[in-house]
Amino acid sequence: MAEAERIIGTPDTPDASGTEPERPDENAASGEPSGSEDAQAPAERPRGGRRIAVLFTVASLAYALDLVSKLLVVAKLEHHDSIEVIGDWLKFEAVRNPGAAFGFGQAFTIIFTVIAAAVIVVIARLARKLYSLPWAIALGLLLGGALGNLTDRIFRSPGFFEGAVVDFIAPKHFAVFNLADSAIVCGGILIVLLSFRGLDPDGTVHKD
């Protein structure tokens, strides 16, 4: 009789070795992830739609301002005396620049043209996963500036992909530049700041 009671006993009763039987993992049985998996889960993307419209709006404004300013400089200032804006410290002076921004690398016009075209393609591809407003503004400035200077490379003399960029902003003791150069520099600085803060173009924030 005692033997029967021992067999019918509850499963929580320790066995002869004094150890309790193993219990199945409740989380595994219910299909819920464990705590370690929760800690490794990726950060969710912030709510809100993609910022493609912001990117192209900023790019369009930067491009339009650069294009209009260059048309005015060629029509009104080229082959004329420079205009003093703030005495000798800042002048408007028409200069044709075959090099990169701020007059650097004048012997590599075609290379800079190809680089500008590649930057435009990369930004267009990146726009598909763009959810961050600051990144949209930064990339829009880069895109507008690159398009502005690329237009000069393609359509201005001396030839296709070898055209000289129109520069006209001439600070004292500094290289002459244009609004496209300014947009590129401002966009680049903003991208560096966003990267230091750990903000990605898709809106997620990472901490290294």
Residues with a catalytic annotation lie at: 167, 181
Q: How many CA atoms lie within 13 A of 171 on its CB side?
A: 7
Is there a contact between 156 and 77 (Cβ–Cβ < 8 Å)? no
Which stretches of 108-202 are assigned E, i.e. beta strand?
165-171
DSSP string of 100-132, one letter each residue:
SGGG--TT-HHHHHHHHHHHHHHHHHHGGG---
Strands ordered across the beta sheet of 83-86 = 83-86, 90-97, 165-171
CA nearest to 138, candidates 204, 193, 179? 193
Q: What is the number of helices (H) and of strands (E) in the chain? A: 7, 3
CA nearest to 92, candidates 116, 106, 74? 74
Gap between the Cα atoms of 58 and 163, Å rounded: 25
